[in-house]
Amino acid sequence: MKDIKRILPGALVSIILIAAILYFVDFQTMWNSIKNANYAILAGSAVFSFVWMMIRAKVWQTLMRDKPRYVDVLFATSEGYLLNNFLPFRLGELGRAFLLSRKSGLAFSEILPTIVIERVVDLVFSAALLLMGLTYVTESQGSERIGYIIGGVMI
């Protein structure tokens, strides 16, 4: 009975998602997209994404003064980013802190500030890129609105 209670929520979510895919996806359009895709670009972007995730994991491990193992940090990072795709409000960040606390034995309260620091640094770099990019569009028509849109997306 305990196994059913543990497995049932995940199975229900899977069934609902499969039903939604079968209902909403146009399989002919999907098949045409798969046939016409440029797989060289797809492979290159997959390699770039994996390398970038490895770098992000090393940065996060460094913020924690190399206490957790790199492999644990890498898996928690990738799982947290996966959760960000499904959960609202970037709750995957809390998920990766929780997952790493379970894998590494570090306290959740010790891990969470490193994520906040990481996100603040990301925001500062994004703001710097925004400001540098705005110098090229300040004289353009509608540049103020473009700046607000980019700033909103950045946050």
Q: Is 107 helix (H, G, I), strand (E, B) or coil?
A: coil
94: burial class by Cβ within 10 Å (0-12, 13-18, 19+)?
Answer: middle
Q: What distance in Å separates the CA atoms of residue 110 and residue 97, rounded to the nearest whole number?
A: 9
Question: In 10 A of CB 118, how many CB atoms?
Answer: 15
pTM of the model: 0.71
- pLDDT tens by residue, 77-105: 999 999 999 888 889 999 999 999 999 99
Closest CA to 97 of 111, 114, 85, 113: 111
Q: What would the pLDDT profile of 3-61 be if each residue is shown by its tens digit?
A: 788 788 888 888 998 999 889 999 999 999 999 999 999 999 999 999 999 999 999 99
> Is the sign of the CA dihedral 132, 144, 148, 153 positive or negative?
negative
Alpha-carbon distance 77 to 32, whole Å?
A: 33
